[in-house]
């Protein structure tokens, strides 16, 4: 009985000690810099490349590296910078497209709310028949007849 209590105490202590280590997983989202997007990461890497370029210039001027090495390393850095720049541009386009798609989806939803009983929309598959038809052009389900206007 005493042993059981002691074991419980040890388990309790262990949980108490481990709790702060496990805690950031669930509520503490702000503990980690979650605003690091692929874009900011690319920009950060570009900054590092430019810093390396400056270091390289400095070392070359200090006579620590040969002109051949300097040229080769410089070209490497510049190529990397160009690549990162390109990747950033692609990343920016992706985010722009995402925003565009989100807007289109929102507009569509708003439209659907305005006219919930579109007679040409198939109740079976959701296909929007472009013409007043009796059967869905996509799956063949019989469409509800529209009221004559």
Q: Which stretches of the chain bind Zn ion, using CB under 5 A?
A: 122, 124-125, 127, 136, 138-139, 141
- Specify whether the CB–CB gap between 49 and 84 falls below 8 A: yes
Please state, in angstroms and rounded to a whole number, the distance separating the CA atoms of residues 142 and 147: 15
- Please identify, using beta-carbon distances, which residue of 97 and 138 lies nearer to Zn ion: 138
- Please identify, using beta-carbon distances, which residue of 120 and 127 lies nearer to Zn ion: 127
Tell whether the torsion through CA atoms of 57, 58, 63 and 66 is positive or negative.
negative
- Please identify, using beta-carbon distances, which residue of 40 and 146 lies nearer to Zn ion: 146
Distance of closest approach, residue 134 Cβ to Zn ion, in angstroms: 12
Please state, in angstroms and rounded to a whole number, the distance separating the CA atoms of residues 144 and 123: 8
The pair of structure tokens assigned to 113 is 């709310």
Please state, in angstroms and rounded to a whole number, the distance separating the CA atoms of residues 124 and 133: 14
Distance of closest approach, residue 107 Cβ to Zn ion, in angstroms: 23
- Please identify, using beta-carbon distances, which residue of 66 and 141 lies nearer to Zn ion: 141
Distance of closest approach, residue 37 Cβ to Zn ion, in angstroms: 40
Distance of closest approach, residue 92 Cβ to Zn ion, in angstroms: 39
Show Cβ contacts of residue 57 under 8 Å, excluding neighbours closer than 6 positions. Answer: none
């Amino acid at each position: 009985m005493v042993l059981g209590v002691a074991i419980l105490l040890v388990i309790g202590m262990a949980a108490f000690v481990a709790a702060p280590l496990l805690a950031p997983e669930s509520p503490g989202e702000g503990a980690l810099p979650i605003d690091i997007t692929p874009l900011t990461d690319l920009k950060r890497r570009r900054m590092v490349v430019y810093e390396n370029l400056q270091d390289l210039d400095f070392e070359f001027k200090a006579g620590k590296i040969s002109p051949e090495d300097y040229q080769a390393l410089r070209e490497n850095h510049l190529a990397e910078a160009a690549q990162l720049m390109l990747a950033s541009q692609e990343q920016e386009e992706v985010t722009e497209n995402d925003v565009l798609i989100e807007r289109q989806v929102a507009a569509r939803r708003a439209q659907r709310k305005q006219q919930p009983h579109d007679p040409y929309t198939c109740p079976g598959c959701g296909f929007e028949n472009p013409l007043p038809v009796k059967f869905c052009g996509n799956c063949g389900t019989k469409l509800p007849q529209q009221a004559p206007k």
